[in-house]
Amino acid sequence: MNRARLAAAGLLVGALLGLAGWFLAGRDDEPPPDTRARTSGGALTFTLPESWRTLECETDEGDCVRVATPDMAEEQAATVSFLPPNPVEGTPVDALLAPDVAVPGRTRITVDGLPAMRLDPGDAGQDTILVAGRARVEAGSVFMVVCPLGVDADRARDLCDRVVRTLKVTR
């Protein structure tokens, strides 16, 4: 009699586990898997949903990649770039990164353990988020994430935040 009860209990548990597995496997509310993206030269890597697109940058933009959500127009794509030092003229963001220069709206943040800054759109009509910091190894080099807000500002902010949160500076 005990064997019969154990066998019946085992069958019941197996059926319940099978039903639970079938139910959970059929759910579509799980996010799609993530994938790793990188700039063309590999100086920067980050994680993005598998459904997002990476686009080529203009040839004069150095080591970079552009990123867009599936339904985002190409001109709204964020640009993730690594700029080598320019000892003659500097880079456009050198003043923003200088700790002793006051920049209205600048927020100091940390990206991959490195000091960086974030400049969000303010009252001055700026329509782009800029995140920038100094590279890990190559002195004078700068990493940047530039996100135009465009038509869907919330989606652009989400994209920008995702890239910045997962950004790894390899050089």
Supply the pTM of this predicted model. 0.78
Query: Tokens 């759109």 appear where?
Result: 121
CATH architecture of 31-169: 3-Layer(aba) Sandwich (3.40)
pLDDT for 20 equals 46
- Within its chain, how far is the Cα of 132 from the centroid? 13
pLDDT for 85 equals 87
For residue 66, which of 37, 43, 103 has the smallest C-alpha distance?
Answer: 37
pLDDT in tens, 6-48: 544 444 444 444 444 444 455 556 666 899 999 989 999 999 9
Q: Would you say 131 and 164 are in contact if contact means Cβ atoms under 8 Å apart? A: yes
**So where are the chain's domains?**
1-30, 31-169
49 CB neighbour count, 10 Å cutoff: 14
Q: How far apart are CA 8 and CA 112, in angstroms?
A: 55
For residue 167, which of 95, 118, 104 has the smallest C-alpha distance?
Answer: 118
